[in-house]
Structure 1
Amino acid sequence: MYVGKKFMLIAWIFVLPALCIRFFTTIYPIFETFRISFFDVNLLKGTNEFVGLQNYMNIFHDPKMITSLKFTVLFVVGSMLGHIILGIVLALILNMKIKAQKVLRSIVLLPWAMPTVVIAIAAKWAFNNEYGLVNDFIRWFNPDFKLDWLIHTDTARLAVIAVDLWKDIPFFAILILAGLQFIPSDLYESAKMDGAGPIQSFFKITLPLISKNIFILSIFFTMWRITMFDIVYAMTSGGPGEDTSLIAYRITTEAFTNMNTGYAASIAIVLFIAMAILSAISTYAAKKVDY
Structure 2
Amino acid sequence: MYANKKYLTIAWILVLPALLIRGFTTIYPIFETFRISFYDIKILRGINEFVGFENYVKIFHDPKLLDAINFTAIFVVGSMIGHILLGVILALILNMKFGGQKILRTIVLLPWALPMVVVAIASKWAFNNDYGLINDFVRRFNPSFHMDWLINTDTARFAVIAVDLWKDLPFFAILVLASLQFISSDVYEAAKVDGAGSIRSFFKITLPLISKNLFVLSIFFTMWRITSFDVVYAMTAGGPGNSTDLIAYRITTEAFTNLNTGYSAAMAVTLFVVMAILSGISLYGSKKVDY
Q: In 2, Cα distance between the equivalents of 1:99 and 1:290?
A: 34
* Structure 1 position 289, deviation (Å): 2.3
SS in 2 for 1:150: coil
TM-score (norm 2): 0.97
Q: In 1, Cα distance between the equivalents of 2:90 and 2:58?
A: 44
SS in 2 for 1:161: helix
Greater shift in the superposed pair: 154-163 or 211-220:
211-220
SS in 2 for 1:7: helix
Number of corresponding residues: 291
Q: In 1, Cα distance between the equivalents of 2:65 and 2:270?
A: 12
Q: What is the one-letter code of the residue matched to 2:77?
A: V
Moved over 3 A (4+): 1-8
1:123 aligned to 2:123? yes
Q: In 2, Cα distance between the equivalents of 1:104 and 1:45?
A: 57
* Structure 1 position 140, deviation (Å): 2.1
Aligned to 2:207: 207
* Structure 1 position 44, deviation (Å): 2.3
SS in 2 for 1:102: helix
Q: What is the one-letter code of the residue matched to 1:140?
A: R
Aligned to 1:183: 183
Q: What is the one-letter code of the residue matched to 1:235?
A: M
Contact 2:211–2:289 under 8 Å retained in 1: no
SS in 2 for 1:149: coil
- Among all aligned residue pairs of Structure 1 and Structure 2, give the percentage whose two residues are the same amino acid: 74
Aligned to 1:241: 241
Q: What is the one-letter code of the residue matched to 1:282?
A: S
User: Cα gap change, 1:8/1:191 in structure 2, threshold over 3 Å: closer, same or farther?
Assistant: closer
Aligned to 1:105: 105
Q: What is the one-letter code of the residue matched to 1:6?
A: K
SS in 1 for 2:48: strand
Q: In 2, Cα distance between the equivalents of 1:27 and 1:180?
A: 38
Aligned to 2:42: 42
Structure 2 segments unaligned to the other structure (5+ residues): none
Greater shift in the superposed pair: 44-53 or 253-262:
44-53
Deviations 1:213-264 (A, max 9, x none): 2111111111110110001100000111111110110111000000101111
Aligned to 1:63: 63
Q: In 2, Cα distance between the equivalents of 1:76 and 1:102?
A: 31
User: Cα gap change, 1:185/1:6 in structure 2, threshold over 3 Å: closer, same or farther?
Assistant: closer
Following superposition of structure 1 onto structure 2, how do residues 276-287 of structure 1 map, counting pairs within 5 Å?
A: 276-287=276-287
Structure 1 segments unaligned to the other structure (5+ residues): none
Deviations 1:27-53 (A, max 9, x none): 100000001100011112221111111
TM-score (norm 1): 0.97
Q: What is the one-letter code of the residue matched to 2:178?
A: A
Q: In 1, Cα distance between the equivalents of 2:183 and 2:9?
A: 50
Q: What is the one-letter code of the residue matched to 1:275?
A: M
Aligned to 2:79: 79
